[in-house]
Amino acid sequence: MQTVSEVEKIVLDLVKPFDPEIDNEILPLSQVLNRILAEDIKSVLDFPHWDNSTMDGYALRYQDLEDLEDLNQNFKLAIASDEIPAGKAIAQTLAKGECIRIFTGGMLPIGADTVVMQEDSDRLDNFLHLKVKPKQGEYVRRKGEFIKAGAILITAGTKLGATEIGALASARCQQVKVFRQPKVAIISTGSELISLEDSQSLQTGQIIDSNLYALSTLINQSGAIAIPFGVVRDDRQELESVMRRAIATADIVISTGGVSVGDYDYIDELLASMGADIHVQSVAIKPGKPLTVASLTHSHLVNQEVNRSEDKILYFGVPGNPVSAMMSFWRFIRGAIAKLNGSNETYWYPQFIRVNTTEDLHSQGRRETYLWGRLSYIKGNPIFQPVKNYSSGNLISAIGTNAIAVMRINQTYVPAGDEVLVMLI
Q: Does 321 bind ligand AMP (CB under 6 A)?
A: yes
**Angle 132-136-138 (CA atoms, 0-180°, nearest 5)?**
75
Q: Does 188 bind ligand AMP (CB under 6 A)?
A: yes
- Among the listed residues 20, 57, 190, 288, the single contact to ligand AMP using CB under 6 A: 190
Q: Which of Mg ion, ligand AMP, none binds 181 (CB below 5-8 Å, type-dependent)? A: none
Binding flags for ligand AMP, 211-240, as an x/- string (CB under 6 A) = x-----------------------------
Give dist(CA 278, CA 271) in Å, integer.
8
Q: Does 193 bind ligand AMP (CB under 6 A)?
A: yes
Please report, as residue ranges, which positions from 174 to 193 form the binding site for Mg ion (by CB under 5 A): 190
- 221, exposed or middle or buried, with CB in 10 Å at 0-12, 13-18, 19+? middle
Give dist(CA 161, CA 36) in Å, integer.
10
Binding flags for Mg ion, 244-263, as an x/- string (CB under 5 A) = -------------xx-----
- 420, exposed or middle or buried, with CB in 10 Å at 0-12, 13-18, 19+? buried
- Among the listed residues 209, 251, 268, 368, the single contact to ligand AMP using CB under 6 A: 209
| Cβ at position 318, least distance to ligand AMP in Å | 8
Give dist(CA 245, CA 269) in Å, integer.
17
| Cβ at position 398, least distance to Mg ion in Å | 21
| Cβ at position 186, least distance to Mg ion in Å | 15
Give dist(CA 197, CA 324) in Å, integer.
23
- 285, exposed or middle or buried, with CB in 10 Å at 0-12, 13-18, 19+? buried
**3-state secondary structure (DSSP) of residue 149:** coil
Q: Which of Mg ion, ligand AMP, none binds 20 (CB below 5-8 Å, type-dependent)? A: none
Q: Does 46 bind ligand AMP (CB under 6 A)?
A: no
**Which residue type, as a one-letter code, is found at position 218?**
L
Q: Which residues, 6+ apart, have CB-to-CB distance to 176 below 8 Å?
A: 26, 27, 29, 32, 37, 39, 41, 160, 168
| Cβ at position 262, least distance to Mg ion in Å | 7
Binding flags for ligand AMP, 250-289, as an x/- string (CB under 6 A) = ------xxx-x-----------------------------
Give dist(CA 103, CA 86) in Å, integer.
6
**3-state secondary structure (DSSP) of residue 272:** helix
Upper half-sphere CA count for residue 205 (Cβ side, 13 Å): 3
- Among the listed residues 191, 195, 210, 412, the single contact to ligand AMP using CB under 6 A: 210
Whichever of 239 and 371 has its CB closer to Mg ion, that residue is 239
Distances in Å between the alpha carbon of 60 and those of 89, 134, 140? 17, 10, 11
- Among the listed residues 44, 207, 272, 378, the single contact to ligand AMP using CB under 6 A: 207
Q: What is the size of the binding site for ligand AMP (CB under 6 A)?
A: 16
**3-state secondary structure (DSSP) of residue 249:** helix
| Cβ at position 329, least distance to ligand AMP in Å | 13
| Cβ at position 44, least distance to Mg ion in Å | 56
Q: Does 106 bind Mg ion (CB under 5 A)?
A: no
Binding site for Mg ion (CB under 5 A): 190, 257-258, 320
Binding site for ligand AMP (CB under 6 A): 188, 190, 192-193, 207, 209-211, 256-258, 260, 319-322
